[in-house]
Structure 1
Amino acid sequence: MSDPVSGISRADVAHLAELARISLRDEELDHLAAELPAILEHVRVVQDAAGDDVAPMSHPLPISNVFRPDEVRESLAADEALAGAPESEQQRFLVPKILGDEQ
């Protein structure tokens, strides 16, 4: 592949698209060949911004999942849950159809 500073050829983009199993039109190949060098340069800048003392992370803020044990508790009976529903059928909420048969 070409050096990001000097540019990426249309053939390089076509090859990458094929590897990624992405179908691109001719104008998309031309557009990406012109845009990818700038994108790669931005990635390089971001990579250089973090020093060796910065650990890789997936999120900028600390995140932790909150787990609790699964416990059986009292809940609403189906009739109680459906009491406020505009319509129900066979102990289920009945909602308007939003997609056609082709979906």
Structure 2
Amino acid sequence: MSEITPDLVRHLGVLARIALSDEEVERLTGQLSAIVDNVAKVSEVATPDVPATSHPIPLENVFRSDVVGQMLTVEQVLQNAPDATEDRFKVTAILGEEQ
């Protein structure tokens, strides 16, 4: 079925600048032959009337509408903060800078 030969695998190794041992050439010959055969099988059943898909099940956008809702007040937001200053969270400097 496939036309993958040890000589072709050696040639591909040279093109890819990969040194292949004889054992690797034999192993890769079989593996590449199997890959080419499987691609050929898929190509046989892939017809123009079958659309290409990225998922077997159609996906839908499940996002809700972006609607402004009830907002928290500044006091509510800061009520459990360990430290706050001027209506803001106060945190320790993380870049080693003194404030």
TM-score norm. by structure 1 comes to 0.46
TM-score, normalisation: structure 2? 0.47
